[in-house]
Amino acid sequence: MPSPPRPTRAGLLANPRSDRVRAVRALSRRAVRHRQGLFLVEGPQGVREAVHHRPDLVRDVYVTPAAAQRYDDLLARADAAHLPVHEVTDEVLAALGDEGASVSPQGLVAVCRTETATLESVLARAPRLLCVCAQVRDPGNAGTVLRAADAAGADAVVLTEGSVDVFSPKVVRSTAGSLFHLPVVTGVGAAEAVDAVRAAGLAVHAADGAGDRLLGALDLSAPHAWLMGNEAWGLPTELRARCDDVVRVPIHGLAESLNLAMAATVCLYASAGAQHPVGPA
C-alpha cells in the first residue's frame, strides 16, 4: 500500500537572517537555552531518537529537501505525531546549527524543550542502577557517560551542580540520542544526591583511582549507584566519605588511569553484567 501523502508543508524557509533562524541559532548559548527552555538537536540520530522516544519534547523539526527524501521514515513518524516539520534551504539549515560543530547535521535539526527529572521522581520508581557525575565538565565525557549508562540499562543519570550543561550542542551530540532514553537529573548538589540515593536504599559506590576496594570484588547485583568524580580533581574526600565504599578499576598495565568516560563505562558494564547475568552459550 502506498504511504499516505505527506501533510503539505508551509513554504520553504529560505532566509538565513530571519528572526526564526536567529532565535534557533541562539540556542547554542547556555543563557538563551536556560531562558527559552529549549535546545538544539542536530543530525538524524539525535532527531530520530527524540521523535521516536520523546515526541512530547519536540517543538520543531527543520529539514532540507534532500534530507526530507533521505529520512522519509523519520519525517513520517514526525507527521504522525503532529510535529511541526519545516523545510529549509541548505543555507538556512547551516545557519540554524552550532557553529562549533565538527560534524554536519546532515540536513536535519530539531528544537526540543529542555526537560530534566527530579531526583525524587527517579528514586520513587525503585531504580536498580544509577550514575551520579559530580561536576563533570567535559561535554564529550558527559555525553559518553549518558550513552554508557543507557547501554548498561541504568535507570537515570544525575549531573550534579557545577556540571556541564547537558543541553549544550556538544553534550547532545555525544549522547547519540541517549538523552531521550533515560531521565537526567541536574542541578542537585553532589552530597545531597548521595545522601538521597542512600536514603532510598541504594548502595553508593564512589569510583576513584585511589579506592581501597577493587571493582571485581564487589557484589553489584543489588540496587546501587556509581558516583563518578570530576575529570581533573576526582572526588573530594568529604564526598567519598559519604559513600558506602570507594572502588577502583584495576590498572593491569602501565597506564596511569582511565579517563572518566572509560572508567564510567567499565563500572556501569560491571553492574550490567551482575544485574543481567548471561549463562554460558
Footprint of its own copies on this chain (CB under 8 A)?
A: 45, 49, 53, 144, 147-154, 176-178, 181-182, 213-219, 249-259, 261-262, 265-266, 269-270, 272-273, 276-281
Residues 215 and 267: beta-carbon distance below 8 Å: yes
Task: Work out how close the CB of 160 gets to its own copies at its nearest, in angstroms, rounded to a whole number.
Answer: 21
Question: Which is nearer to its own copies, 32 or 101 (by Cβ)?
Answer: 101
Task: Work out how close the CB of 22 gets to its own copies at its nearest, in angstroms, rounded to a whole number.
Answer: 28
Task: Work out how close the CB of 102 gets to its own copies at its nearest, in angstroms, rounded to a whole number.
Answer: 11
Question: Which is nearer to its own copies, 1 or 254 (by Cβ)?
Answer: 254
Task: Work out how close the CB of 150 gets to its own copies at its nearest, in angstroms, rounded to a whole number.
Answer: 4
Task: Work out how close the CB of 62 gets to its own copies at its nearest, in angstroms, rounded to a whole number.
Answer: 22
Task: Work out how close the CB of 79 gets to its own copies at its nearest, in angstroms, rounded to a whole number.
Answer: 22
Nearest-5° Cα angle at 157, 240 to 41? 140
Beta strands in the chain (DSSP E): 38-42, 58-63, 85-87, 108-113, 129-133, 156-159, 184-186, 203-207, 213-214, 224-228, 245-248
Nearest-5° Cα angle at 268, 264 to 269? 115
Reported residue count of the chain is: 281
Residue carrying the nine cell digits 558516583: 227
First to last CA, the chain: 42
Question: Which is nearer to its own copies, 10 or 232 (by Cβ)?
Answer: 232
Question: Which is nearer to its own copies, 47 or 154 (by Cβ)?
Answer: 154
Question: Which is nearer to its own copies, 27 or 152 (by Cβ)?
Answer: 152
Q: How far is CA 186 from CA 6, 32, 261, in A?
A: 38, 17, 18
Task: Work out how close the CB of 9 gets to its own copies at its nearest, in angstroms, rounded to a whole number.
Answer: 28
Question: Which is nearer to its own copies, 112 or 190 (by Cβ)?
Answer: 112
Task: Work out how close the CB of 33 gets to its own copies at its nearest, in angstroms, rounded to a whole number.
Answer: 23
Q: Give the span between the Cα atoms of 103 and 171, in whole angstroms.
A: 13
Question: Which is nearer to its own copies, 32 or 269 (by Cβ)?
Answer: 269
Q: How far is CA 147 from CA 54, 174, 245, in A?
A: 16, 8, 25
Q: Give the span between the Cα atoms of 203 and 30, in whole angstroms.
A: 34
Question: Which is nearer to its own copies, 94 or 152 (by Cβ)?
Answer: 152
Sequence-ordered list of residues with C-beta below 8 angstroms from that of 27, at least 6 positions apart, any chain: 33, 36, 38, 39, 40, 111
Q: How far is CA 136 from CA 106, 113, 184, 199, in A?
A: 29, 22, 14, 23
